């Protein structure tokens, strides 16, 4: 695709931004490095659609990386933002809306008795780890290869040489001494977690996991995996931390914990609870959460934590999601899309494995099941790049990386789904013919 001709304004905007912003963006995946064209600059959005600065319309399956579960510019959320902003945008002092949001989170999640509001998922997980270490008096964290938990130093790591070995830094600027506080094991491999506990007996503070891995594409937990993690943490007196920044309020109102019936000790939330604005949270049992300052010795603070505009947007979003039929609608739309994509791939003769749970899904270009990061890395990235480009040409906006998820929102209509399936049929046939 000749981006200069098809998207001239975005091409120019990216060139200008690159003179002032590292890589021309403020978050790496926005640079479209995982595909063959440069990024589109977005002018506006409404419902299921986004519009770039060249005037092109797209059906959006990125949804601000999952945050816009109601769709863009939802009337109730916009009204709440306007009312809150009219009273002042930040006070650095307590507000009633913070308590309202905390109560809603506690009501939604059986495992949560106390909540601390923060401003990003990275901050929530970083605080959860510090809290787990403070509560247990231990230093080591077990995480899963391919699961992303934000860009704090101890989590920008990759697997060591052995299954139960210390991790190594995966980013420049991360000290080896910090990386060695994390042990990386394969996702969906309970025996690897068991081996890590055995090798580092009495030293592991917590197991940190996305209950559904959604940052290497969507990878579901195999049967018994989450329950196995719960059991191992109990046996070893370690905490189980669920990173539900993506799955929280998406798979169910009570997140993955309600969906799979497994309770975490600490839960990290984000994206949806901001209603499109910067907001996140961590929550858990009272005895754990009360370790946080000012009641306990584990320090955490934030100028914009519990921001009144963000909490207003969050409360308005949850007001909609608490309605009984919301998750049925999401499941129906996502199931229809999954079936259509699978049929399109079969008709075109292009091997595609679709992983889906609720309104969260990924299309992997492979003929084998995808159960961990190694499986994801073995998929046909070249075909994904071509699929992304062909779908974009047909007005379908997917995440510009094979390692990211597709999100269905309440704003996606049957007509959107039908149009998306039609675009996929044409795109996959084109890929087949080009092989």
Residues forming the active site: 148, 243, 271
First to last CA, the chain: 17
Distance from C-alpha of 50 to C-alpha of 72, rounded to nearest angstrom:
8
Q: Which two tokens stand for residue 314?
A: 């969050």
Distance from C-alpha of 303 to C-alpha of 308, rounded to nearest angstrom:
12
Is 111:254 a contact under the CB 8 Å cutoff?
A: no
- Whole-angstrom CA distances from 263 to 111, 267, 288, 292, 370 are 6, 9, 14, 21, 25
Q: Which two tokens stand for residue 119?
A: 């401003």
Distance from chain centroid for Cα 371 = 17
Is 217:404 a contact under the CB 8 Å cutoff?
A: yes
Quote the strand ranges of 53-113, DSSP E: 57-60
Residue 173's CB is within 10 A of a number of other CB atoms, namely 7
**Helix, strand, coil percent values for the chain (each to nearest 5):** 40, 15, 40
DSSP string, 2-27: -HHHHSHHHHHHHHHHHTTSGGGSSS
Distance from C-alpha of 135 to C-alpha of 297, rounded to nearest angstrom:
9
Residue 394's CB is within 10 A of a number of other CB atoms, namely 18
Residue with tokens 């021309």: 24
DSSP string, 302-367: -TTTT-HHHHHHHHHHHHHHTSTTHHHHHHHHHHHHHHHHHHHHHHHT---EEEEETTEEEEE-SS
Distance from chain centroid for Cα 287 = 28
Is 156:181 a contact under the CB 8 Å cutoff?
A: no
Q: Which two tokens stand for residue 246?
A: 């993506």
Distance from C-alpha of 222 to C-alpha of 73, rounded to nearest angstrom:
36
């Amino acid at each position: 695709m000749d981006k200069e001709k098809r998207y001239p304004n975005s091409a120019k905007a990216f060139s200008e931004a690159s003179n002032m912003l590292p890589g021309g963006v403020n978050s790496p995946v926005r640079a479209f490095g995982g595909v063959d064209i440069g990024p589109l600059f977005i002018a506006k959005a409404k419902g299921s659609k986004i519009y770039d600065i060249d005037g092109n319309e797209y059906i959006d399956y990125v949804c601000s990386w999952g945050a816009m579960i109601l769709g863009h510019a939802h009337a109730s959320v916009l009204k709440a933002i306007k009312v809150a902003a009219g009273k002042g945008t930040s006070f650095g002092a307590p507000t009633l809306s913070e308590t309202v949001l905390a109560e809603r989170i506690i009501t939604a999640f059986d495992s949560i008795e106390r909540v601390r509001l923060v401003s990003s998922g990275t901050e929530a997980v970083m605080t959860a780890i510090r809290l787990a270490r403070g509560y247990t008096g231990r230093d080591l964290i077990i995480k899963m290869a391919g699961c992303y938990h934000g860009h704090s130093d101890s989590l920008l790591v990759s697997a060591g040489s052995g299954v139960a070995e210390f991790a190594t830094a995966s980013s420049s600027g991360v000290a080896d001494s910090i990386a060695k506080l994390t042990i990386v094991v394969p996702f969906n491999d309970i025996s690897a977690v068991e081996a890590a506990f055995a090798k580092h007996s009495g030293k592991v503070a917590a197991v940190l996991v996305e209950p559904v891995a959604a940052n290497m594409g969507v990878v579901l937990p195999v049967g018994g995996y989450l329950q196995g993690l719960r059991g191992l943490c109990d046996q070893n007196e370690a905490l189980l931390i669920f990173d539900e920044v993506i799955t929280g309020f998406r798979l169910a109102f009570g997140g993955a914990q309600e969906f799979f019936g497994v309770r975490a000790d600490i839960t990290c939330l984000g994206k949806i609870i901001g209603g499109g604005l910067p907001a996140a949270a961590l929550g858990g049992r009272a005895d754990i959460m009360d370790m946080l300052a000012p009641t306990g010795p584990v320090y955490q603070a934030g100028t914009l934590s519990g921001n009144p505009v963000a909490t207003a947007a969050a409360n308005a979003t949850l007001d909609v999601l608490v309605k009984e039929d919301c998750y049925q609608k999401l499941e129906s739309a996502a199931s229809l899309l999954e079936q259509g994509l699978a049929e399109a791939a079969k008709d075109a003769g292009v091997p595609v494995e679709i992983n889906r749970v609720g309104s969260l899904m990924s299309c992997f270009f492979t003929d084998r099941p995808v159960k961990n990061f190694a499986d994801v890395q073995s998929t046909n990235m070249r075909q994904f790049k071509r699929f992304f480009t062909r779908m974009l040409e047909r007005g379908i906006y997917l995440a510009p990386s094979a390692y990211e998820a597709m999100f269905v929102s309440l704003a996606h209509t049957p007509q959107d789904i039908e149009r998306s399936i039609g675009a996929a049929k044409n795109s996959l046939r084109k890929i087949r013919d080009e092989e």
